[in-house]
Amino acid sequence: MSTLGVRRARHASTDAQRRGRFFNSANAFNVKLPPVPAGIHAEPARQALAADAPTGYVPCDQSAALACPWPATTPFMLARYARVRPGERLEADFVASGSLWYVIAGTGQARCGDETLAWSAGDIFHLPAGPAELLASGTTPAVLWLVTDEPLLAHLGLGTRPARAGAVHFTAADIAGEIDAIHRTVPDAGTSGMAVVFSSAALEHTRNLMPGLTLSLNTLPPHRHQPAHRHNSAALTLVIAGEDCHSRVDGVRCPWSPWATLVTPPTAVHSHHNDGSRRAEFLIVQDGGLYYQARTMGFQFME
């Protein structure tokens, strides 16, 4: 059966019939795609933070390794660093269902529709689909980290869809308060970590900030590690704080560096380790919304 290859209609009389293709049960399910490369991306962060870097984006692009015709860090997500020089503007109009942002340094504004957000270092915000722009308002450049689902929409052949709700903004002060609150509690049995998970009024029922993407700020006390685990979603992790920290992904040690991006492939067994003397913090974006909706998240502790 597998030797039959792709077949076409024998008696096609219309263009619609001529576009049809036939496979069979022996050759339709043997599609082989390159694996998602794991590891730390430190160079894009260095480029965005360089003193002479221009206003613009520095992507964490693994499309060549993924054999993907559009920029992608994982099959459904694209991470970038954004830099905006003082007094300059940066367009943020992506073919995506929205974008998730973390402010690494600087102050500025995000203009989206009829809303304007004033942000500063440590803030997190979500911009819905559609045109937006960032302006740096301080005397030093602003640097941000962002993730979109552009590869997912490109795979589906979709353009930007109208936003369902407005922008969402979490200030550094409110985030710090939430982290302090969870560290004053006793974790429930089976809890995967000490993390703040971000959502919105529109998606409160899903615990997500975007329909397909989940966002959480995880923490790890000194001299502790998060047990090895796996899940079917891919993960993009921004190193925010920590010294002498590393992750292990499928047995490979990935040392942390300031503001680096860690890529954890789907189903990869991974753990996070803090061998330093202060609390580690790391921001995680997963395409988990897709897998929760499909009932296929597959979270499992491995130790």
Question: What letter would DSSP give residue 267?
Answer: T
Sheet (strand 132-136) strand order = 89-91, 132-136, 107-112, 115-120
Contacts of 121 (CB under 8 A, 6+ apart): 103, 104, 105, 106, 107, 172
**pTM score above 0.85:** yes
Is pLDDT of 274 > 90?
Answer: yes
- CA dist 222 and 291 (Å) reads 32
Contacts of 105 (CB under 8 A, 6+ apart): 49, 121, 140, 141, 142, 143
Is pLDDT of 26 > 90?
Answer: no
What is the set of domains in the chain, with CATH numbers?
A: 39-301 (2.60.120.10)
The residue-averaged pLDDT of 228-238 equals 97
Residue 60: the pLDDT is 98
The residue-averaged pLDDT of 258-268 equals 98
Q: Which candidate, 65, 49, 159, 43, places its Cα nearest to that of 104?
A: 49
When pLDDT is cut at 50, 70 and 90, the band that residue 164 belongs to is low
Q: Which candidate, 47, 50, 42, 66, places its Cα nearest to that of 58?
A: 47
Residues 132, 291, 178, CA angle at the centre, nearest 5°?
A: 60
Cβ atoms < 10 Å from Cβ of 206: 16
**Bridge-partner residues for 238, per DSSP?**
261, 283
